Amino acid sequence: MFVVLGIIQVFFSIVLIILILMHSGKDAGLSGAFGGSSGGGAFGGGSLVERNLNRWTVGFAVAFGLNTILMLKV
Q: Within a 13 Å sphere around the CA of 70, how many CA atoms are in the beta-carbon half?
A: 14
Q: Which domain holds residue 64?
A: 8-19+44-74
Tell me, yes or no, whether 55 lies in a domain: yes
Tell me, yes or no, whether 70 lies in a domain: yes
Q: How many domains does the chain have?
A: 1
- Write down the pLDDT at residue 47: 81
- Write down the pLDDT at residue 25: 72
Tell me, yes or no, whether 51 lies in a domain: yes
Supply the pTM of this predicted model.
0.71
Cα three-residue angle 9-4-23, rounded to 5 degrees = 20
Closest to 23 measured CA to CA, from 57, 63, 48: 57
pLDDT tens digits along 23-67: 877 655 455 555 555 555 554 446 898 899 999 999 999 999 999
- Write down the pLDDT at residue 35: 58
Tell me, yes or no, whether 26 lies in a domain: no
- Write down the pLDDT at residue 46: 62
Tell me, yes or no, whether 38 lies in a domain: no
